[in-house]
Amino acid sequence: MEKPVYWILGAGRFGRLAAERLLARRRPPHLVVVDRDLDKLRSLAEEPAELVHHEIIDFLLANLENEPNWVIPAAPIHVAFAWLSRTLSERGGVEILPVPEAVDAQVPNPWRDGKGGLYTSVARFRCPDNCSEPRDRCTATGLPRAGDLFSLLAKVKVPGYLPLVVRSHQLAPGVGGYRPSALRRLMARANAATGPIVVATACRCHGVFHALGRHTTPRIDARQG
């Protein structure tokens, strides 16, 4: 039986942790680690992983049709949103918008990054990087979980915007990812949108929002002028 293929997008601290924890499995997957920083890739040179020197969104755009089993975003960007906005920009104009303020009151512990993005977390403290994300209670506090953040974010109402949520699944302690089909569903819904879009990626505890608007260049009739 062939090994499942996992793409780790980013070879920084969280990418290295993801690689180490996935390779520690009894039956580790085939790992493809992508980063544009050669020094970061070299830090994984002793690991049994395929190392790819490439900008991660360019890699995702060029290779997603190769169907890895899981995509693990481990770079300090909102990967699903960056991939979506780059893909849409090739089909028409895309404008990156600030996340509407209406979102803040609907999510726990909102924090804005000053660049238009919004982060949210059910925790008011720094979570351990090896959290196993149990379904019923918080690893750090032991208290029952009130609900899953990805479910909450799917209910956010933003007047004039279509909210879209990509769920991040727990693949190992502190390691989250999604299947390529999640990105294709995101694209299909974005293509059907008639107005601006708010995109979130979230696990049970943490999430990030970004927003965009679309416009097309008016067609010029050669008979005019």
Per-residue pLDDT of the chain (225 residues; tens, 9 = 90+): 689 999 999 999 999 999 999 999 999 999 999 999 999 999 999 999 999 999 999 999 999 999 999 999 999 999 999 999 999 988 778 999 999 999 999 999 999 999 999 999 988 777 777 777 767 777 777 777 778 999 999 999 999 999 999 999 999 999 999 999 999 999 999 998 989 999 999 999 999 999 999 865 443 333 332
Handedness of CA 64, 2, 179, 140 (dihedral sign): negative
Query: Of 85, 98, 203, which is closest to residue 153 (Cα–Cα)?
Result: 203
* pLDDT number for residue 124: 79
Q: How many C-beta atoms surround the C-beta of residue 46 within 10 A?
A: 7
* pLDDT number for residue 223: 35
Q: Which two tokens stand for residue 65?
A: 């049709």
The DSSP line for 83-143 is HHHHHHHTTSEEEEEPPPGGGGGGSSS-EE-SSS-EEEES-SSPPPTT----SSB-TTT-P
- Locate the domains of the chain by residue range: 1-76, 77-225
* pLDDT number for residue 55: 97
Q: How many C-beta atoms surround the C-beta of residue 188 within 10 A?
A: 9
* pLDDT number for residue 225: 29
Q: So what's the architecture of 1-76 in CATH?
A: 3-Layer(aba) Sandwich (3.40)
3-class state of residue 26 by DSSP: coil
* pLDDT number for residue 2: 85
- The continuous run of DSSP H or E covering 191 comes out as helix 180-192
